[in-house]
Amino acid sequence: MRKFNIRKVLDGLTAGSSSASQQQQQQHPPGNREPEIQETLQSEHFQLCKTVRHGFPYQPSALAFDPVQKILAVGTQTGALRLFGRPGVECYCQHDSGAAVIQLQFLINEGALVSALADDTLHLWNLRQKRPAILHSLKFCRERVTFCHLPFQSKWLYVGTERGNIHIVNVESFTLSGYVIMWNKAIELSSKSHPGPVVHISDNPMDEGKLLIGFESGTVVLWDLKSKKADYRYTYDEAIHSVAWHHEGKQFICSHSDGTLTIWNVRSPAKPVQTITPHGKQLKDGKKPEPCKPILKVEFKTTRSGLC
């Protein structure tokens, strides 16, 4: 068997690589460079542009849904407005001020949307054209907007403010109607102090002439729009975050800052018919449950079995 010498193999490889490098140096001397290619494209020939937006809106702050046209509207803290329809259909809009969107209200099945911003401006959007646009705007200069409510198929938009007053806006002309529900007339002698900002407005599901007004301090007022006076006043010790009607219009539920839920009969304003602390630790001997984090949103729903 012939012996294999690894040293001779390595010497052969070294000699081969050195001869190849010498040939390359002869073909391309150091002083001669390859000719440069002349570029005809310049920076002004290019422009960046947005072609698509993907994903859920950043920093969402308001949400609304049109159950008839199946349109979802999402407002953000930077004043952006995203509209989502059927799969693959969506639109992006931007408020010029860049103020946060605090609330959105659809004109159900009318192709219109009301947006309320943190700079106390209301905008009426027209969604019936290819590119949604603002039709009207209304600026509140002396009061800060805290809550808006637009009943189904109504031309009146109810706007609650930080001072506890409620202004009524004509949606068609987008101007103030002159009808104002003043906080002191709404609560009268039920409280000696200011009730705080308006945190909820809704009409009775069975009577659109009755308006439920929730104040931050814990006071709720059932207001009669025709007689321009309060029918009932409901008082609770804890601040209110959310209010919702039962579909029959005979009861409503409130969520509070201490994590409790109070259920009220409309005609029994003295005390709630039921007080629940769903996330609080239940104590023995009938003591009041320990307070927990506030419940920011509550809904009053009914199942097929009749349980709520």
CA 151, 156, 161: angle at the middle one, nearest 5?
A: 90
> What pLDDT is attached to residue 27?
55
Q: Is 220 left (phi over 0), alpha (psi -120 to 50) or beta?
A: beta
Count CB neighbours of 196 within 10 A: 20
Average pLDDT by stretches of 10, the chain with 308 residues: 57 59 56 68 81 81 94 95 88 93 95 95 93 94 95 94 96 93 86 89 94 95 94 94 94 93 94 88 69 88 66
Are 81 and 94 within 8 A, CB to CB? yes
> What pLDDT is attached to residue 26?
56
Two structure tokens written together for 272? 């709630």
> What pLDDT is attached to residue 302?
78
In the chain, the DSSP E strands lie at 60-66, 71-76, 80-84, 90-94, 101-107, 112-117, 121-126, 133-139, 145-149, 156-161, 166-170, 175-181, 198-204, 207-215, 219-224, 229-235, 240-245, 251-256, 261-265, 274-276
Domains of the chain: 182-307 (2.130.10.10)
CA dihedral 288, 294, 296, 297 (to 10 degrees): -20
CA 215, 296, 138: angle at the middle one, nearest 5?
A: 55
209-266: pLDDT as tens digits: 999 999 999 999 999 999 999 999 999 999 999 999 999 999 999 999 999 999 999 9
> What pLDDT is attached to residue 49?
79
- The span from the CA of 169 to the CA of 180, in Å, is 10
- The span from the CA of 207 to the CA of 228, in Å, is 15
- The span from the CA of 31 to the CA of 54, in Å, is 53
Count CB neighbours of 65 within 10 A: 15
CA 228, 241, 163, 170 dihedral sign is negative
Count CB neighbours of 107 within 10 A: 20
Contacts for 182-185: CB closer than 8 Å, 24+ residues apart: 183/215, 185/229, 185/230
259-274: pLDDT as tens digits: 999 999 999 999 999 9
Give the contacts of 246 (CB within 8 A, at least 6 positions apart).
Answer: 205, 252, 253, 300, 302, 308
